[in-house]
Structure formats: structure tokens, C-alpha cells
Amino acid sequence: MTTAQPLIRMASVSKTFGEVHSLREVNFEIGQNEIVGLLGDNGAGKSTLVKIITGYHQPDPGGTVYWKGQPITDLDVVKARKLGVQAVYQERALADQQSLWRNIFMGRERTTFLGLLDVNRMQHETRQLMTQLMGFTSTAVTPDTSVKHMSGGERQGVAITRALHFEAELLILDEPTMGLSLSETAKVLDFVGDIKKAGKACLFIDHNIFHVHPVADRIVVLDRGRVAGQFLKGELGLEELVLELRHVAETGSLRSGAPSA
């Protein structure tokens, strides 16, 4: 049954850079329509894990990445994108000087039967996405608004919307709330809820468990390149999670010992 397969699974994946062991025999998976929160200190290996899933780095020999149950060899950036893996990077995601509609359709422009840019259609679709997905109610922002006038949370929303609109199956958000205000952060967390509602999966990385806990179905804790533990959200309240994380930081393992879930 393909539906029971996780969307993506890493089996015994290690990544070394010279003497640095960024990931050590990591077993990790993301289910279909699952929101997985990834927590860990600076240098725990979170971004390295992302870069393996997005095909930017290849795992050391011995590790395997599976997509819907099939092992993928030679996963590279192009292949990962084709599978439907989309990383959303706040800084690099958008072209500042361009309008909102141009940003949404960048590289995937709609054309008329004559091969000309179908600007009306792209503006129209952008307006629909703004109300349906991004929840923009303000009339100050239109499809023609330049992205540089948008706030950090709005920009993040545009990047996520674009990925959803173009059929990403797995969205990866690596520290999407970095540098954002409280209200902007709340917006980004709402967008993660939209990913869930759209039936897609998400890997959500953040230092702050108060951001991760409300939106994640499952939380995975990385510590010095190892999976120190994982929890289904229903299993563990926020306060208990705080205690567990403190314990992981001090000892490298969960209070209960072996990884759960």
C-alpha cells in the first residue's frame, strides 16, 4: 500500500565533513500530510538534514533516502524538486524589486496561445491566492505591489503560497520565524496550518519550541548529529517537552532513555 508509506524516509543516514560528523546514522521520516517539527541546538545538524532531503548534499555511503518507499540514488537538487520537495528560504525566496504576481509565477509564467505572457491571468490568479491562501484582506496589497514593501511574515507567506500553488508535496521551512515580530511569527505559524489543510507535508525547523509545538504533529529532537528522541504531539505537553529538551541538552538523551514514537 503506497498510501501507508512515509513520504520521505532516511535510513541510517550519516554526513561527515572531514572530521565533523554533522549527522550520525539518522533514521527519520515524514509521513504524508504530516507536519514534523525539528528541534535542536546550533550545530545539531538540522540544516544538514534539510540539505540531504533537498539534494544539496549526498549522504555518506551506507545511508539511504526513500521517497514513498522507493530508494532514491543520486538525489540531487533537480531530482528533489521534481519529486515535489520545496525548501522555502526567507532571504532568497523572492525577488524584491518585482511585483507580487511576478514573484508567484517566476519561472513558471502563464502564457497565451501565442506564447505571450498572460499578465491578466497571472494577476487574477494572484488575487485569488491572496484571499484564499494568504488571507490578505488589506486593500493596500495588490498583485502589483512590489515585494520589497511587504513585511517578513507576508513575504514568507508569498513564498509558501507559491510552493503550494505549484504542487510541492513537502515544504521545508528552516527557521522561518527568524527575525520576525510576534505577530509576523503568528502569521507564519498560520501558514503552516494552511500547508496541513492543503493536504501537504511540512518539515518545520525552529529553535523555539513554543513555535514548533502548536503546529507540529510530531517533534523530532536532534542532538550533535543524532536523533535524541521524538514525540507525537498528543503524547507530550509543552511543559514536559521543555523538560525533555533540557535533559537532552545536558545529557544527549531523553529522560526516558530510548527514542520514542
Ligand X SMILES: Nc1ncnc2c1ncn2[C@@H]1O[C@H](COP(=O)(O)OP(=O)(O)OP(=O)(O)O)[C@@H](O)[C@H]1O
* SS3 label, residue 110: coil
Size, binding site for ligand X by CB under 6 A: 11
User: By CB under 6 A, is residue 91 in contact with ligand X?
Assistant: no
Sheet holding 170-174, edge to edge: 85-88, 170-174, 201-205, 35-39, 218-223, 226-232
Q: Is the dihedral of CA 132, 136, 140, 142 positive or negative?
A: negative
Among the listed residues 246, 197, 194, 245, the one whose alpha carbon sits nearest the alpha carbon of residue 219:
245
Among 9, 10, 14, 22, indicate the residue that binds ligand X (CB under 6 A): 22
CA 220/CA 101 separation, integer angstroms? 36
User: By CB under 6 A, is residue 46 in contact with ligand X?
Assistant: yes
Size, binding site for Mg ion by CB under 5 A: 2
* Residue 48 site contact among Mg ion, ligand X, none (CB < 5 to 8 Å, cut-off depends on kind): ligand X
User: What mask, x for binding ligand X by CB under 6 A, covers residues 172 to 191?
Assistant: --------------------
Closer to ligand X by Cβ: residue 47 or 99: 47
* Residue 22 site contact among ligand X, Mg ion, none (CB < 5 to 8 Å, cut-off depends on kind): ligand X
Residues 205-244 that bind ligand X (CB under 6 A): none
User: By CB under 6 A, is residue 58 in contact with ligand X?
Assistant: no
Among 32, 47, 64, 99, indicate the residue that binds Mg ion (CB under 5 A): 47
Alpha-helix residue ranges (DSSP H) falling in the chain: 46-53, 77-83, 100-105, 119-132, 152-165, 182-197, 209-215, 238-251
Which residue stretch of 39-47, 65-73, 123-131, 147-155 sits at the interface with Mg ion (rule: CB under 5 A)?
A: 39-47
C-alpha radius of gyration, the chain, whole number: 19
Interacting residue ranges for ligand X, rule: CB under 6 A = 17, 20, 22, 40, 42-48
